[in-house]
Amino acid sequence: MTQQMSRRQFLKLSAGAMGGVAASEMAGLGFDATRVHARTHARQIKQGKEVPSVCPYCAVGCGQIVTVADGKILDIQGSYDSPINVGTLCTKGPLEALVTFQQFLVLADPEGQVDMTAEAISRRTTIPLGVIVVALAVAWQAGRGIPAEPTTATALLVQTNLPQQDVFDPLWVHNNPDEMQALEQLTRQAVAAQPSPPALVIWPEIPVSIYFNHDPVMRARLIALAQSTRAYFITGTIDYQPAGGERPDVFNSAVLLSPAGELVAQYDKMELVPFGEYLPAVGRLGFFQRMVREVSDFKPGRDYDVMPTAHGRLSIFICYEAIFPGQVRQFVAREGGAEVLVNISNDGWFGRSAAAAQHLNMARLRAVETRRFLLRSTNTGISAVIDPYGRIVARAPDHVRAALPVSFAPRQERSFYSRHGDWLPFICTLAVVAALGREFWAEALEEAIRQ
């Protein structure tokens, strides 16, 4: 029996499926990121339990880094984090191309009918699937010949491995002086073990609050650390600024200190985690507030800061900002943009699940798209240096306190994607709109003729 559906029915079915997947994904995003969930995670980690959950924010798209073939084209087309790709993670690139080709055949079918029998699907997919396999094989073989990227500078990535807190303690740093002293000692010893001072020393976003701009004792210690290491120093911090009301605006930030201990620049995180770092408008309804009353109330930053150093211009993005290709591109897009990218993150919320690896893979995509070295320092892992082709050059072991010396080089050339952004989905959208317009125009014309 021949199974056929009209072109319009097929498009409605596709739109409904995409909407349903997107809605379910967004629901997972919200509730999995709440601090209530995080407290449960922290207790499980303390009990030594394996936490089987994954990071809902960074599941989408991580499969695009599986092949060198993707690494060789993402600097042209970018990557797109549509929830519809959740089911095709490990083969996202090839399957997306195949599905797109199928949809094109639907729109281009002059009869307006879609034959959904197994035989018809096999006929339509054999040739494009073969082309995809050959293209991936050629790209993989070509990628094997790419030499290691030359480096001109060194950095020290400090993995702090501080414990997650069941209840936030703003005085934790002062109540646990031994922990901070151990981190400072580890940093100084690692720097002293190098033949020459590194260009950068990077501490991650951590689960306890450092108030660099408002805690004179901690600020003095960090300034002394930068001066003693004779390196540019980056660390996560919490900042707050007067807002004209009773409560100040609070920011999740990162600061860059010079080797002399002077504040060079500060970046305020722009893409906050919904239901984790802030409560979206819909979440302020009474039903949601009872469920997520422990959610933080951070404010988003506004500026794509590019920070000057003696070893090239750098930009910092924090935590799950690594999953946004359009945002990271902005750091590099303009003239005088970043020549090196730095990602600091606290992935301790994920425990020993696959989420930390997923988050790392998403960050690798940003290195490929912008053709920049990416220096990634995290609290519990995975801290690593990633080259402009998405290759992990060095990484620290997970869930241990470590200081990882790495090499990098500033790069000034801008990739096609850095200069032109999301051109591919724009063109695809225009093509779909044109095809749909042609279809509706033809139907309207036929109806007019019949009348």
Residues annotated as catalytic are: 205, 269, 319
Identify the bridge partners of residue 238 per DSSP, sorted by sequence position: 252
The rounded distance, in Å, linking the Cα atoms of 427 and 356 is 34
The rounded distance, in Å, linking the Cα atoms of 343 and 366 is 10
Per 3-state DSSP, what percentage of the chain is helix, strand, and coil (rounded to 5)? Answer: 45, 15, 35
List the alpha helices (DSSP H) in 193-283. 216-229
The rounded distance, in Å, linking the Cα atoms of 317 and 345 is 9
CB 236 within 8 Å of CB 204 = yes
Strands (E) in 7-124, as ranges, are 113-115
Across the beta sheet with 263-268, the strand order is 263-268, 249-257, 232-241, 200-202, 153-159, 402-408
CB 376 within 8 Å of CB 367 = no
Nearest Cα to 230, choosing from 203, 193, 204, 261? 261
- Helix 423-450 and helix 7-32: axis angle, to 10°? 140
Cβ count within 10 A of residue 435: 17
Tokens in use for 98?
């195949």
